[in-house]
Structure 1
């Protein structure tokens, strides 16, 4: 079984509930489990009945949980870059560099890049600190962008490293021509870039070799189509996809004219899901009549996750 487990899908289909149920089940089986929320809605703490923060906190037994705030991560990310710049850039230009970094806080992609840095740091704690990490991810589009970042950022870092090496070489040549003392051989910017490149490459390998993605949907038109797109994207990236989890399936004995109409429509969608995704495998989770807000309810949900998911 993969050590890195991702629950993804369209917003509002119940990813958080299933991710929490899965994590609780594995923890009660004796594993040290970390449940990570990367969803901006941050409903993981509500489901667990706990206030969660930026660092892992114990929920029960060997289950830990953390909610990542992308904006706060971006702030820390920018401050780390500033610290690196102060050690590598001349005092004459540092003010300009810092102004540009301040502008970058609101640039597209800054939150995602910072979130990925945090994501890489957390998966590095598995399996030594946590035997399994379960990710309750953002809606599908954001998750897919996050998963493509390793290759994109690796290419970007390689380009920046090449530019930095050329600039450093020019600086050394000019200092030699001017008869000035040579700068120290170590370049902190190059060192940090090289380290980030190694971490991104390692993260990419972990996603390919030790991760499994479970797509959550409900028997309705829009989630079905979004699931089909997500499945194609994950498979095109050569990532392992587990069974589809059809959440909130109405029980067959539901009564009343309205419920009969809903059941008839649900039956059509379930048949379509079976037809379109038969090769992937499917698990049904029956709709609970109440909101899921307790650990005992999560245990009940977990019993519906087949051995193919939990083993």
Structure 2
């Protein structure tokens, strides 16, 4: 069964097209694993959070107990950017001369609306959450944003690590230039500003390099975790309809290119047969879409788990445990 396959993975991502039931399946999997006695953290990275609504309680940036052995977090993009910029500002204020502090603040306020800022801040928060989560939980489960946002986030660790590496190399060239200028310090010995700048430069350079290297190390570790097939699996949730199927085919290819292991496909809300002519026709159409999906993913078709359409809305811990036991256990 699905839970037995997933229980040995320490990191699970649930992704797919919007509205297919990612939050429900991520939560039901988390509840099922918690029922087995494991410590689970479920994390929502979707700006349109449904985790709190599903569990019928307030969930925020700090872990909230959802049931025995299971905690939940919602990462809010807006507050994540605020925290990220505040952390960057505090670091830069320590590294820059005091006369530049106002300029640093002005620059960061402008950067708030820069393209990619939300993704970069959220990625760093995911990296930190994963790092601390793996230290305290058996499994960390991510309920992700719709496909386009998620694949962009999965691409970022490598890009950010390379970008930080570029900053470190630029910093090294800058340091060589500053040391060369230092030969002329005696000529300007009466200029206190210039003198202090040269005196403080080695300390600032060391601290700045330390900050950049910590960041680079964090992104590289995240990349290693994402591409470790024994540790991490990406579960794709879809419905057996044309658009979700096409998006799933593209997502599988993108994950393959990124070297992220696809743990399986969960086809949610399959129409029942024998209830009415309408539902029978829908089930037939769904079969055709799934046949196209399987054909497109040949020769390596991930395991496919099909979940029937439920007559009732699945809300609250008790319903999620029952759902997990009935369909995932």
Q: Smaller-chain TM-score range? A: over 0.9
Query: Unaligned 5+ residue runs, structure 2?
Result: 1-7, 187-194
**Correspondence for 1:94:** 101
Match of 2:285 among 225, 243, 265: 265
Does residue 196 of structure 1 match 2:215? yes
> Alpha carbons of 1:273 and 1:305: their partners in 2 closer, same or farther (altered >3 Å)?
farther
Does residue 281 of structure 1 match 2:303? yes
SS of aligned partner of 2:46: coil
**Correspondence for 2:165:** 158
RMSD: 1.7
State the alpha-carbon separation in 1 of the partners of residues 311 and 250 from structure 2: 30
Query: TM-score, structure 2 length as denominator?
Result: 0.88
**Correspondence for 1:185:** 202
State the alpha-carbon separation in 1 of the partners of residues 92 and 171 from structure 2: 12
SS of aligned partner of 1:185: helix
> Alpha carbons of 1:214 and 1:64: their partners in 2 closer, same or farther (altered >3 Å)?
same
SS of aligned partner of 2:267: strand
State the alpha-carbon separation in 2 of the partners of residues 304 and 140 from structure 1: 27
More displaced, 212-221 or 76-85? 76-85
Deviation at 1:83, TM superposition (A): 1.2
> Alpha carbons of 1:156 and 1:94: their partners in 2 closer, same or farther (altered >3 Å)?
same
Does residue 132 of structure 1 match 2:152? no
Output one character per residue of 1:103-124: Cα deviation in whole Å (capped at 9) or x when no partner.
1101111111111111111111
Any residues of structure 2 matched to 1:1-311 within 5 Å, and which? Answer: 1-179=8-186, 180=195, 182-183=199-200, 185-186=202-203, 187-209=206-228, 210-255=231-276, 257-277=277-297, 279-303=301-325, 305-306=327-328
Paired residues in the alignment total 306
State the alpha-carbon separation in 1 of the partners of residues 47 and 280 from structure 2: 35
Deviation at 1:305, TM superposition (A): 4.6
State the alpha-carbon separation in 1 of the partners of residues 52 and 221 from structure 2: 30
State the alpha-carbon separation in 2 of the partners of residues 51 and 31 from structure 1: 23
Is the contact between residue 31 and residue 321 of structure 2 (CA under 8 Å) also seen in structure 1?
A: yes
More displaced, 144-153 or 264-273? 264-273
Please say which structure displays the higher CA radius of gyration. Answer: 2
Output one character per residue of 1:222-243: Cα deviation in whole Å (capped at 9) or x when no partner.
0000000000000111111111
State the alpha-carbon separation in 2 of the partners of residues 54 and 280 from structure 1: 33
SS of aligned partner of 2:202: coil
More displaced, 16-25 or 89-98? 89-98
Output one character per residue of 1:101-151: Cα deviation in whole Å (capped at 9) or x when no partner.
111101111111111111111111243301100000011111111111111
Query: Unaligned 5+ residue runs, structure 1?
Result: none
Query: TM-score, structure 1 length as denominator?
Result: 0.93
State the alpha-carbon separation in 1 of the partners of residues 266 and 62 from structure 2: 29
Structure with more helix by fraction: 2
Deviation at 1:73, TM superposition (A): 0.7
State the alpha-carbon separation in 1 of the partners of residues 98 and 29 from structure 2: 52
Is the contact between residue 18 and residue 301 of structure 1 (CA under 8 Å) also seen in structure 2?
A: no
